[in-house]
Amino acid sequence: MAYWLMKSEPESFGWDHLVGSPKRTTVWDGVRNYQARNHLRAARKGDGVLFYHSACAEPGVVGIAEVACDPHPDPSQFDPSSKYFDSTSRPDDPRWITVDVRARRKLRRFVSLAELRTHADELDDFALLRRGNRLSVLPVTEAQWEFILELGSRAS
DNA sequence: GCCAACGTTGGC
DNA sequence: GCCAACGTTGGC
């Protein structure tokens, strides 16, 4: 089993949107970056997901989710009405993929990016803390996963 | 709103 | 293949 961090902008789709979705599940479509796509390609049903709020007043990890299906072609790339439409991607050779993401539970305590930065040593080269990181899907090691869950389980 | 850090595009 | 221009991400 692997672990991932997925970023979402709370103003467009935050934790509450995920929890309010049918079956607490959404299609993680619209990833249009090759490196992020390669991470999605490596994801499998059952993998753990840190749900992260980005581009907001207080960025950080809000809750725990899981990959709810194996990767498959992202339908939005073939939908001309979608903002994620990619006219250069061919159905017989899809360029972009997606997975379903299902909410497990909210963290007892929000773990902000600022707090994560104070634990840069313990988190040992956490991809999120690397300079200039812009990927929307990042790998998380088991040690990093356990550490962040522990932070998020502390009393406020 | 600013700006650093990328990724992509396209001319050459 | 190089590189300038441009667009996007995302923290602050």
Q: What is the pLDDT of residues A8-32, one digit of tens each?
A: 999 999 999 999 999 999 999 999 9
CA A88 to CA A75: how far, in whole Å?
Answer: 14
pLDDT at A85 exceeding the cut of 80: yes
Residue A133 CA to B7 C1' — how many Å?
12
**Which residue range is the domain that position A89 belongs to?**
3-153
Q: What share of chain A has pLDDT > 90, as a percent?
A: 87
The per-residue pLDDT for A87 is 87
Closest nucleotide to the alpha carbon of A132, via C1': B5
CA A134 to CA A72: how far, in whole Å?
Answer: 23
Task: Answer whether any strand B atom is within 7 A of the Cβ of A134.
Answer: yes
Residue A31 CA to C9 C1' — how many Å?
13
The per-residue pLDDT for A156 is 73
Closest nucleotide to the alpha carbon of A130, via C1': B5
Q: How many domains does chain A have?
A: 1
Confidence of residue A155 (pLDDT cuts 50, 70, 90): confident
The CATH number linked to A111 is 3.10.590.10
